[in-house]
Amino acid sequence: DTEVTQTPKHLVMGMTNKKSLKCEQHMGHRAMYWYKQKAKKPPELMFVYSYEKLSINESVPSRFSPECPNSSLLNLHLHALQPEDSALYLCASSHAGRGNYEQYFGPGTRLTVT
Amino acid sequence: AQSVTQPDIHITVSEGASLELRCNYSYGATPYLFWYVQSPGQGLQLLLKYFSGDTLVQGIKGFEAEFKRSQSSFNLRKPSVHWSDAAEYFCAVLLRGSYGGSQGNLIFGKGTKLSVKP
């Protein structure tokens, strides 16, 4: 099973709201990722967690706050977003450590900030 | 700097015709290369990957890709396209972590949109 699930599928939020995106995998992967994809653009990496610790933060604004509560779950907490943050947010996972591992993506959460 | 170039923004092929999508990369070390496919509003599905070894790699859905180090290319091919193959295709190279681990940043090309004529 190579499934990564994401909830919700769609989210509309105002600029003063607080919301969270959720990602889950049961493939035993110990690396998890958040990517942001604007319309007609490729995905861009936001964060990487490795063994439940944040290992890469690609200079993402603090209004995005990631959390990895356990090896299967990855959250992205959203607060005070701007309309330009509207995008498809993709979660991915892979094995971690030394080796050659591919990333598996979830279906994404389509976020609209009004 | 590491980068991936997909020269074709949009390609249209007839159903049943052969397909080749081009990908060129710039990477200092041995590249780890991938092709992903994305249907509208969906996530990315891994088609195939190249880490080392045989330069012709087979993937899902009848796709294959050939790694050519001398040309810094990793072109995707399919001998006979089906209407369901219409989608956006992304080539990507993995920037490996500083400690040699493979969890790192996937650098994507800008994508090639494939349309299929009946």
Please check the confidence at residue B105 and state whether its pLDDT lies above 90.
no
Q: How confident is the model at residue B94 (pLDDT cuts 50, 70, 90)?
A: confident
**Residue A103 corresponds to which tokens in the numbers above?**
């990333």
User: Which tens digit of pLDDT belongs to each residue from A44-80?
Assistant: 999 999 899 998 888 899 999 999 999 999 999 999 9
User: Which tens digit of pLDDT belongs to each residue from B7-39?
Assistant: 999 999 999 999 999 999 998 777 899 999 999
Do B93 and B25 touch, CB atoms closer than 8 A?
yes
Q: Is B100 on the interface with A (CB under 8 A)?
A: yes
Q: Of chain B residues 55-94, which have a CB less than 8 A from chain A?
A: 90
Which residues of chain A lie closer than 8 angstroms to B110, CB-CB? 41-42
User: Whole-angstrom distance between the N-terminal and C-terminal Cα of chain A?
Assistant: 36
Point out which residues pair with A88 in neighbouring strands. Answer: A37, A110
Please check the confidence at residue B100 and state whether its pLDDT lies above 50.
no
Please give the Cα distance from A27 to B19 (Å, whole number). Answer: 33
**Residue B85 corresponds to which tokens in the numbers above?**
């193959």
Rounded to whole angstroms, what are the CA distances from A21 to A2, A12, B56, B75?
20, 12, 38, 35
DSSP string computed for A45-105: EEEEEETTEEEEE-S--TTEEEEEEETTEEEEEEES--GGG-EEEEEEEE--SBS----EE
Please check the confidence at residue B64 and state whether its pLDDT lies above 70.
yes
Average pLDDT over residues B98-115: 78
Half-sphere exposure of A100 (CA within 13 A, CB side): 11
